[in-house]
Every structure is written in C-alpha cells, then in structure tokens.
Structure 1
C-alpha cells in the first residue's frame, strides 16, 4: 500500500513539474531577450495564453504516453519529448495568431522550444531512473507452445528494459504419442525454468505467485479460457497476445435478442461513408505536403543524379486494396538493376545495393515523399497497411491465409504497424497491427498515427 501511494505521489509530481518547466522555459526566453525589465505589452500576451499553453502541453505529454514510460528505453522517451516540444511550438504560434497577440515576441516562441527540450530532458532522465526504481521488477509467467513462449519471453525481458523478469514458462503439451515438452525445449531451461504443463498451471501460480501472466496467441481457445479463469480467481493481471479470432472481437458491439446477450462482430472493412471522408483528407494532405516538400524534392533529385547513374524516381509493382496492382513511386536509393541477379529480395538494414545518397534519403525518410503522387492518383492512402510486392504477398498468403484480409483497405504511406512495430517485427505481428487498424479505423485514429509517425522517424530501429 505504501509503495502504491509513492507511485501516485510521484505521478502527480511528474505532471506538475513537467508543466512548470514548460512555462519556465517561456519565462527564461523572455529574460534572455529583455533581461529583468520585460515590457508589459510583450509579457501580457503570454500571461493571457499560458493556461491554453499549459493544457496543450499536458495533452501532448499524455498523447505521447510520457506518463508510464519507465518501460521504454531512454531513446524512446527522448524522441517523445522532441515531438512534444515541436508540436507545443506549433500550438504557441497558432494561439498567438488566433488571439491576435502580435506583441508576443517571435524570438521567444522560437527560443522556448530549445529551452524546454533542455530542461525537460534533464528532468525526465532523472525521473526515468527514479520511476523504474519505484516500479520495481515485475515477475511474470509466460504460457504457450514452446517456440512462441520462448520468443515472447525474450521480447518481454529485452523490450521492457529490465523491468520485467520472466519467472518461468508453462507450456502446452502436444497430443502426438511420445511427445515430451521437456525434451523438445530442454535448451530453454538454461535461461527460464520450465514450471510445468497446462494441467499444472494452478500449482505453478501458487508456487511462483507472479505479478502478471502472458498468454501466447497459439494456445487453444479452451486452454486460454482456463488460464484466464485461474488468473481472475487469484486476482492476477493477465495479458493476451491476440490471434485473428480475438482481433475480430475487437470493438464488438453489445446487443441482445430477447433476453439473450449477443456481440455484433464488425467486418474487417472500413465503411463506405468513412472511405469518402478518408479520400478527401488524403487529397488535401497530399497536395499540401507536396507543395511544402517541393524544394526538398528538387535537391534530392539533383543529389541522386550526381551520386549514381540512373533515373531519379524508382517505380515498383505493389498490391493495394482488393489485390489491385499499381506502380509505387520512390526516390531511387539503390543502384540500377539491383535485383537483376538475386531476384525479389527484401531490403536489409545494411544493404550493399543502397547508394551513398540513398542511405541519407532512407535515414531521413525522404525517399518516401513521391508516394504522395500515388495518394493523389488514388492508389494509396496517407494511412493504411504498407503495400507489398506480389511475389511476397503470394508467399505470405501461403504461410498465413489471413493475410488476404489486410487488403480489405487501401495501402498507406504509414500505418499502425509502422508506429507500433520495429524494423525487425515479424510479418505475423505486423499483420495483426494492420488488421487491428482496419477494425478500429476512425479519422481521429489516422491523425494519432500521423503524429506518432513523427516520433518513429526520429528512431532508426522503429521504422519499418
């Protein structure tokens, strides 16, 4: 109980100190420009807008999930802070124009973000370490079939930054004669103890007394229900990696027939009226982005021509909604005829076929800009599942028949899989994110993905 109070007080202090530093940065920017004698006509516009500036900062901190970020690596926290500061600067300029506060010094609006980033980075670095200490290490049990259970256990311990400790695995036994879960997974014991098989799950809970239980997606529905019931009975928090069935139940609407409760399960498809609005937004945003990016595109084209022989733009056949093929445009980042000898190959992180300029264009995501032309043509949307090549689609459909549902919506430049996954995220998990996006689509969701994409662009290992 005492530990819970400490966490609550820490969270309140975190919020208050964040907001104090955001506003302190504006004051320091005034002091740098005017010294201690700040003219009233310049200070008054800030005093009249500081409540709105404070509310916008708080909203941005929550949107970028900076309250509960102790499980992140520091690089992710810092990238989120950069986004908060950048969009806070945009809000400051917008409020200055909206309230006609033209006496609000532009130099203050420009200097404040740099001061905010410096102050918040120092404070948040210390708070990050402190919060991890307060939260402590959470002991978890992973339940599933051997291969997926091991993969999930590795992910939990590596991605959570040391805040999660896997106490052991409970594995599902197989029906084949002579099968032994211990013999098939003996290499696991060197890292995580095998606590037992599913029939022994309740005893494992009593012995380990974990804080949380994670259930893999490949477990049968019957076994998932048994594990969840056992956890609920013992008041243990349980997390479930969803399969297609659970994804289909996402956002199901509660209804009834007479006195029988039923779930109305939605389709894996965006409603037609939403598609019309989505298309209008795509046209407006792509036109605006092309106008703003025109000078950058000219410089990129010149650099590509000077660096290596070949065309500036590269086009490649991809598949979009209803498996319709189209040619996707990009700035060329590889040598000409890069796949002449190898055939269709997915690009690797340090691909030798990438040119010197191409590496810079990829790192800054500038090579993706020509896809705005695909959006204008109607081949793609701003937000949606990434379009894939026919060869790889055929291979993926053989491995995962559910992959065809991914093409119930138009392909996009960015998507939920791109902001939630990493460069090395498995195709299966990317597929799950794409299907979840289709199930939960809304214009607000698209806006959230676009804003989160800015953060992902700052992190090399998060772009895919």
Structure 2
C-alpha cells in the first residue's frame, strides 16, 4: 500500500481501538463495577471517549508512531508501542485516575486500561502490517531502488533482493562501475521486474556522476551500494552525490568498519543491509523541535506585530521599495522555496553585479538595513517560513540556488546541509563570522555538518540562547 493509504489505515485502526479500549474501561468501571463503586460518574460517554482518543493519537504522533516504518520488524513496533502506551497511561494516572478511583482499586483499573489499549492497538497494527506485507509480496507499495557497484557485486545484490520480496524493494536500475580496463554502464529494469539480472538491459555508457540525475528520473527512494571494503573513494563519492537527495542509502555489510557510528544495521526479512546516515534525532525530539518552531514563531509574530509594522513603515519611508524582500532559497532535500526578510539593501542592488555575497561595509546596505542586520531583526519575517514548514528555528542557513551550484562544485559534502530543514540561526552563525569569501563558507560548512551529525534539542536551545545574546549585544552583521 502507498504511504498515504498506510497512514490512513493506521489512523483509522488506532482511533477505533482507542475508542474500544475506553468503552471497555467505561463498562468495567460504571456498569460492571469491577473496581468498586466509582467516586465520580461521567455526565456523558461520547465526549470523554473522543477526548481520550484524541489524546492517544496526539501522543502517538508526537512519539513518531505514525512515521513510515518501512519493512521494520513487527516485534520492534510492538516494543515501541509498549513504551509509548506505558508512558501515556502514567500521564493519565496523575492527570485523571488518581482522583476518580478508590485507592484500593486504582492498581487494577490502571492495569486493565493499559492492557486494553496495548492489546487492542497491537492487534490492530499487526493486522495492518500483515496486509502490508502481503501487498508488498505482490508488488504494491514497494520502494524503488537503484544499485551502485561493481559488476559481480551488482548481480549478487540483485539475487538477494529477488530472494526476499517481503523487503519490498523494487530495483529499477543499476550503475555498474568500471574496473581499470573495463567500461561502466547504466542498466534499467525492463517492466520494472527486479527478479533476475537477465531482465536488465544496458541503456548507455554511464559514470557514477549520473547518480543524482537517475535518482530524479527513476524516482528512486533507496540507493543500494554494492561495493567492496577497499573502495573507500567510491563510497565517499556515492555519499557526496546523494547528499541532499530524499533517498535512503543502504549498503552491504562489508563497509560497516569504515562508516562506524554513521550507520544503523537492518535485517529486512533476512536481507542484510546497513542504512548510512540515519536520522540523528529520535522521533519525539523531532516532534518537540517542530512544536517549538510553531510555538516560538507564533509568539514572535503575534506579540511583536506592532514593532514589525513600525519597522516595515520605517523601511518604506527611508528608501524606495517594498519593506519585505523575497528571494529563492534551497531548502531540505534541495527543494526551492521563497524566503522572506526585511529589506536591508537598496532596490536592484545586484542589477549590475549579479549575485554576490554581502561584505562587511557593503555600500548596497541602507542605514536602517545596517541596524537591522546588527540586531538580526531583518530575519524576523522568516518566522513565517518556519510556520509554513519551509524552515526551522535552528539549522544550516539556506543559500540561493546560484551559490548552491557553485559551492557544491567547490566544497566536498556541501549538499549534506540539505538533509535537514534550514534555519533562521545555526551553529555556524553563532560560531563563525559573516561569510565574505569561499574560505568563510568552507568553515561554516564544517560547523553545519557538525550540527547535522549531533542534532538534539539541547544543542538547539544552546544555539538559540547564543543567538539572543548576539542580538542584544548588536554583534550581527
């Protein structure tokens, strides 16, 4: 099944099971009185049931239980459910149950509700996953995969993928790299059938540099790397070319010693693969990060509205042109979005020069713009980008497409910055000066990559506090 159908099925089944669990608790407490006479009787049944169902679904979403768990072990999902349901019931104990039950019956009621929620939701999800597995075996809802490797390794991995259709990988092509004296080639699956190497036909001579284009053209979701342990340079080149692309990288276990802590071992129904560069933040931290983005953005935009209107009016009065400046920037996974800023330069500042970096005493900056840059207030309209989901409060600063193309050629792993959402501020902004040259950008990329590999809420808060200090001290540029 597709990701959209999977999500709809999970929401429907979970909602039904949460409602059923509450219904069982209601009968046990108020009709059957298994836990003794209740202290309080509910005025209605339907509304509390809806509230409880909404509570559980929000908790599940916050904990990442509605994220794609492609071909994950069902046992792993049951363990994740156990943890989340246990925490959820503990929250309810202190919020509701502790005041509405007799002390002697509290333990039994809590265990009964926990068992009802966990048991019913587990049964529902196992049903969804079983149907999902059957559909994958028949070719529905599979991931499109591309293999990169040497000739013999490519064939071996093809056979492995064909042996485990439950893993849900559909190989749509392969890049067969060349040893010295050989020629490389691109292969595409005829009719999308990955069951045998014989169905693959060479379409053209090809080098590894074609990988980004093929990912886009073939709508690839997984890149399977079939190299050997000594091929360090080839692996690093694959990682570089896939940086910023919305794909997962999986390789055969030979490379585990090379990539160390940047990998996570997977056994997809017997198919041993290692995922490279997995998500650095756990699901609950990602949910909290997004919640913090939305909350802070709303507070800043709403409470500061009079000040933002005054700044916009001041910009209009002191120099001709709009108060808000719009510019195309590159976001997560290379997507282009429109970034908003208070205008700090004169209109058509780059009409003669084309895209150039701002310098320390840039004559194109207006007097008001210089003050806005020092205090970082020119970035305030980007809180709207954060609300829309284009950006986050903390992350690598987004760059213009013109500079991204240039810098990606000059700086290794530059596109790895696009693995995460760009931010209003970032580790590079609080640790390095304003970038005026390519060397400054190189240094900032190092800080950005450090942030991406060590993302956490604690680090985000540290960056936000340092940014506030910079604003109050007027040290921006």
TM (norm. structure 2) is: 0.41
When Rg is computed on C-alpha atoms for both structures, the one with the higher figure is 2
TM (norm. structure 1) is: 0.42
